[in-house]
Amino acid sequence: MILFWAIGSALAVLALFLLLRPLLARRAGAGVSRKSANIAIYRDQSRELDADLAAGKLALADHRHARSELESRLLEDVDAAQGAAPKHGGRGAALLVGIAVPACALAIYLLIGSPRAVDPRADHHAGSVAQIEAMVQRLAERLRENAEDADGWKMLGRSYAALGRFPQAVDAYAKAAARAPRDAQLLADFADALAMTRGQKLQGEPEQLIRRALEIDPQNLKALALAGTVAFERREFKLAADYWQRMLPLVPADSEDARGIRENVEEARKLAGAGDIGQHAGIRGTVRISAKLKDRLGADDVVFIYARAVEGPAMPLAVLRRRAQELPVEFALDDSMAMAAGMALSAHPRVVITARVSRSGSAKPEPGDLQGASKPTANDAKGVEVVIDAVVR
């Protein structure tokens, strides 16, 4: 505990120094409000998260978790700034704030909202979710009085999306789009949320929103990533590669983002040249639960069945979701179930099939979940047996 407070104090002093240094060196006529700086920082970090997702560096669940933390910090700052007079500082203030905030993000996350956050016995997740819910509710109430605030509706939509409340996110995004119809980033976020309400399918109206976003801003990273995903899902691999290729000039050439995007482009071009992805039969088998754990199944439990490469990325290559009550269940995993574009099951010869019973319905393993895994097997094997026989600790 002493070490925790020492580290926290050191980070606080560092953050204070970085924040005050540019603000004390003011320049006339170069002021920027706290709200504007925070929004600028949020947009930069949001674009970085979207680029990581597009590059395959972040799983969808991790992307949403990081987006949730980012939204909660922004909501708190905006909430605190209501009614305060703008503060003016030098042009470097926003830049240094942008550097300081990521460096101190972990400390802010651990300390935010309640002194009990440092108590190892406290339920941190429940507290943080409750705080975010409260802030989102306050924002929704303000928008009832100021319904023409397009930025407010956008923030509300992103907050609902971060909480997994996609129908409400779609409603908020629709209101924002009606007031800012030429905001390409808004349309891309709108498409993403709408797809989540339709079983993660981008075809149809989400695709139309993506197309509109690219007509407005042909260089929007998220819209390009989503457009490539739509094409990839349709097995239009050359078109997918073209969309993702357009992302490369928008990120640093020597960055991890660029390397991930290039890998996706190469994968799509490889599949376009081969033209035989549809011939890959995928992997099939059965998942059952051991007798000793059968009585621990709940009525609302969910089973996630997924394949990981024996040698390759840690991210699942294909995922299937079923109800625990259906066990034993037969499964089939193939390239159409890929978690991210460019992560084809057929591209990795040896895989391990894992089945996990989730009590919370979350894709992230939690203590108390039930789990089992197969031995390494070929990516087109038949009759694979997976026995759920262990408890996640």
Task: Say which CATH number the domain at 332 has.
Answer: 2.60.40
Domain that holds residue 285: 279-391
Which range among 159-163, 189-193, 344-348 shows the weakest confidence by mean pLDDT?
344-348
**Angle in degrees, 0-180, between the axes of helices 34-54 and 92-111, rounded to the nearest 10:** 70
Domain boundary among 256, 272, 288: 272
Nearest to 321 by CA among 49, 52, 61: 61
Q: Which of 117-121, 195-199, 319-323 has the lowest mean pLDDT?
A: 117-121
Instruction: Determine the pLDDT at residue 187.
Output: 96
Higher pLDDT, 98 or 367: 367
Tell me which range, 6-10, 101-105, 153-157, 345-349, is most confidently predicted by mean pLDDT. Answer: 153-157
Co-location of 193 and 110 in the same domain: yes
Q: In what order do the strands lie in the sheet with 384-388?
A: 329-333, 283-289, 384-388
Is residue 387 domain-shared with residue 265, that is, in the same domain? no
Instruction: Give the residue-averaged pLDDT of 30-47.
Output: 55
Question: Which amino acid belongs to residue 285?
Answer: G
Chosen domain end from 272, 293, 311: 272
Between the alpha carbon of residue 111 and those of residues 106, 116, 127, 326, 359, the distances in Å are 9, 8, 11, 42, 28
Taking the chain, what is the end-to-end CA distance rounded to the nearest angstrom?
24
Give me the sign of the Cα torsion angle 384, 385, 388, 390.
Answer: negative
Q: Is the pLDDT of residue 118 over 70?
A: no
Counting the structural domains of the chain, the total is 2
- Domain boundary (272, 292, 310) is at 272
> How far, in Å, CA of 65 to CA of 108, rounded?
15
pLDDT, tens digit (0-9, with 9 covering 90-100), for 265-306: 888 888 877 654 445 568 999 999 999 998 888 878 899 999
CA atoms within 13 A of residue 5's CA, in its CB half-sphere: 4
Q: Are residues 243 and 339 in the same domain?
A: no
Residue that wins the pLDDT comparison between 108 and 232: 232
Q: How far apart are CA 205 and CA 359, in angstroms?
A: 33
- 301 and 169, same structural domain? no
